[in-house]
Structures are given as C-alpha cells and as structure tokens.
Amino acid sequence: MVERRKPIPVAEAISRLYEYRKYGEAEFVPIENCFGRFLGADIVATHPVPPFDRSPYDGYALRSMDTLQATREKPVWFEVKGTVGAGSVYPEKVGPFEAVRIMTGAQIPSGCDAVIMLEATKEIEKDGRTLMQIKKPIQKGTNISFAGEDTKKGTVILEKGTYIHPGVTAILATFGYQRVPVSRKPKVGIIATGSELLEVDEELQPGKIRNSNAYMVYSQIIRAGGEPVYYGQTSDNLETCYRQVKNTLEEVDFLITTGGVSVGDYDYLPAIYERLGANVLFNKIKMRPGSVTTVAELDGKLLFGLSGNPSACFVGCELFVRPLIREFLGSTNPFLPAGQAVLSAEFPKPNPFTRFVRGYIGFEKDTLVAKPVGLDKSNAISSLGAANGFIVLQGGTAGYKKGTAVTVLFVESQDGQEFDRFIKMKF
C-alpha cells in the first residue's frame, strides 16, 4: 500500500528543522583567505580610529586663534617652520603665528588646532624665511580628523557571524588581524541516488540522464558558506545506498541526498531512515516544487533528503539547507532575504500549495519586478539558469494577475533575515 503522507506548512517544517541548529567552532585563517567566510568571534576595536588627530587635507597646521583678525584687505602672515608628511611626527610645539606645512594623513603638530587647505593660502620666500598668508579666520578644529571620530577604542565593531566582504577585511586589517577568527565551514556530504544517473563526463545512454543535482547542490553549499564533499552517486539499491549513507554520515556535519524520497518502488530513503533509526522531522511539505523534501535527524545530525527533481532539489536546498549552514557559521540572519516586487506576467496556475517560482528579480525603471523564468515544473532545469530568486505565491490561491505585489526571496544575496521574521512571512 502506498504510504499516505500528511503535508505540513513550510513555516512548520522550518520550525521543526530549526530545533536542530548548531554552531560549529572558530578557526583562524590568514587575512588573504578570509573573503567569503563568516567571523568566528566579535571584533573589538583595539585602538581608536584614527589613532591620532590628523589632517584630512594637504595644507598648513596652525593655531586658529592667530587667524581671527585675517581679512581680504588685511591678511595675516605666518612663518612656515617646516613640513610634515603622513607617517612622520613634527617634533616641535608650534607657537604664535607659526605654521607647519602638513600633508593628508599626517599627525597634527602639537600646539595646532586647525588646518587651512593649500588652495586658500599663498606662500612666499622673504629674507630667507618662508611665509604664508591667509585672508580669513578659521575656527578651532577646522579640517582635523579627531582621534576616535571614526571608531572608539573598545567598540564591538563587527559581530561574530558577520559575512566577510572586502569592507570587513579593511576593518580586520586596520586592527592588525593577520590571522582572522572565522567560523569553521560545515562539511556537507552529498550523495546522489538513482540508477538512471550518469556522471558529467559520460555519453548519454537510453533511459539515462546526467547527474546535475550533485553539482548544483555542490555550488549551492559553497554559496551558503559550507564545504561540500561529493561522495558520488549510488544506484537505486537499498543495501548499497544504506551503507553509503551510514558511512558518510560519520564523516560530515550534514548529509544531503538527492532523489529517492518519494513513494516509488525504488525510493529507498524512507527505508534507510528507518534502518538507521533516524527521526524523520517531516516528509511532505505544502510547497511546490519540493513537496517531498524530507529531513531526518540522527543523534542531532541532520540528513536532508532533497527531491531528485532538479528544480525541487534547488528550492529545497535554499529553503532548508542554507539556513542551517549559515547558523553553523554563526550568522544571526541565516534565512533568505525577502522583498516585495511586482509580478511582470500573469501566473494562471492555481496554487493548492505555496509555490516557489524560479524567477528573475530586477529593476524595470525604478520598480522591482519579478519575472517567472523557464518552465515552471519540478523536473525543469531551464528555469534554473535565469533565476536569481523565488517568487512566493501563496497556497490556496487561484493564480496571480500581472501587476500583483508578490514576496520574493533573493537567492544570490549574501544578506539574510532571522528565523522569527522569516517564518512570519505568509507561506
């Protein structure tokens, strides 16, 4: 008899899964290799930035009080006592009506409290002395970047779990992190199941197809921040498949299988979960594609049974695997970021289950528009090429008209949102 499965809402599936979230641990990498990783610790400013009062311009440092009488008609003259460039410290205290030529980034000499830009001055040589003239007063503090104005010492400037992009790297370098604490990447095992599967370099044969899921998921794991390990493909044979899953499980933090999770004669994953003694969290979700997505847990370790159908596999990976990988990396917003866009084409199919339509989300003039791309079927691959997100069409609706405001999820983005916000979205 065919097993009857009870479909549960997407938010419920995510909530059950989220109970098993865990954080990995931190490790160190050289700063050159930190791009794309997630911080494994809070980063505290170890000194103020800038560390000293400095000039943001090329100009003259002086005492503002000496400029108060300066007018166009009666300019004030200063004696230029020397020059200081970035990296040097002017050794003497600057006195009344004295100035020091100062370059951008140089420390403000002692005694000075303002900088006038070169363009606003005139310099002359007279009797072996260098003089500089200014024609209007400047206020105390003008053109000074004060110590700590950017960052105060002791501030938590970056939080654990932050995605490291080039701007983050600049901060790490500023504070001397030659070795950067990053979260260890979870090792995510991939096994593709199916007797019909050929490897990528094999010629097509009757009844067979090339295994696209394994490589798609491999890339999705990297994009999510994990470390994929491909354990190959197995034929639809219970014994082989069981052994492969059991052995692999010991070596990884998460295990993904593709295919074999439905109710067919050769869909062995349900039997494998049973034999392993794994606790199946759900095996039917009110969503399309990916309704058969199954997640089981064994001693706290998650086994993601993604659908064999490529589009369903893709959606399942983004909705269920990505957040658990990001959680492992310490991210506080591990779920796909969402937005509102205008549907650019009619979507006439009724939606008994919530649909995650592969779409291209982009601007047309200044409106964010969501365009369904390719064939909207769970076994389609054509839609995956052009898609940069999902158009979420709620279950229980009779189709959508062009111009309707819809929720979209951005799969290419490194942003994210927290669990509470994500599950409150109408799935």
Ligand X SMILES: Nc1nc2c(c(=O)[nH]1)N[C@H]1C(S)=C(S)[C@@H](COP(=O)(O)OP(=O)(O)OC[C@H]3O[C@@H](n4cnc5c(N)ncnc54)[C@H](O)[C@@H]3O)O[C@H]1N2
CB of 14 to ligand MOO, least distance (A): 16
Identify residues 273-292 at the interface with ligand MOO (CB under 6 A): 288-292
Q: Taking CB under 6 A as the rule, which mask of x and - marks residues 292-311 in contact with ligand X?
A: x--------------xxxx-
Q: Which of 145/378 has CB closer to ligand MOO?
A: 378
How many Å apart are CA 281 and CA 185, to the nearest integer?
A: 24
Min dist. Cβ of residue 290 to ligand MOO (A): 5
Which residue, 225 or 260, is less far from ligand X as judged by CB?
260
Q: Where are the beta strands (DSSP E) in 58-202?
A: 59-62, 76-84, 98-102, 114-117, 121-126, 129-134, 156-158, 179-183, 187-193, 197-198
Return the range that interacts with ligand MOO (CB under 6 A); candidates 100-108, 307-315, 368-376, 387-395: 307-315
- Cα gap 369→96, rounded to integer Å: 64
Peptide bond before residue 289 is cis, with ω within 30 degrees of 0 = yes
- According to DSSP, the β-strands at 338-343 and 43-44 are unpaired
Pick the binder of ligand MOO from 121, 183, 257, 309 (CB under 6 A): 309
Q: How far is CA 160 from the centre of its chain?
A: 13
- Residues 202-241: x where in contact with ligand X by CB under 6 A, - otherwise, as a string: -------x-xxxx---------------------------
> Looking at 59, 161, 181, 259, which residue binds ligand X (CB under 6 A)?
259
DSSP 8-state symbol, 84: E
Candidate list 33, 69, 155, 379; residue touching ligand X; CB under 6 A: 379
209 binds, among ligand X, ligand MOO, Mg ion, none (CB under 5 to 8 A by kind): ligand X
Distance CA 30, CA 39 (A): 13
The neighbour count for residue 291, using CB atoms within 10 Å, is 19
Q: Which of 107, 143, 162, 262 binds ligand X (CB under 6 A)?
A: 262
- Can you tell me the distance from the alpha carbon of 356 to that of 23, in angstroms, rounded to the nearest whole number? 28
Residues 324-383 within binding reach of ligand MOO (CB under 6 A): 378
CB 344 within 8 A of CB 371: yes
Residue 404 in the binding site for ligand X (CB under 6 A): no
The size of the interface with ligand X (CB under 6 A), counted in residues, is: 27
SS3 151: strand
Binding residues for ligand X (CB under 6 A): 192, 194, 196-197, 209, 211-214, 258-264, 267, 289, 291-292, 307-310, 312, 378-379
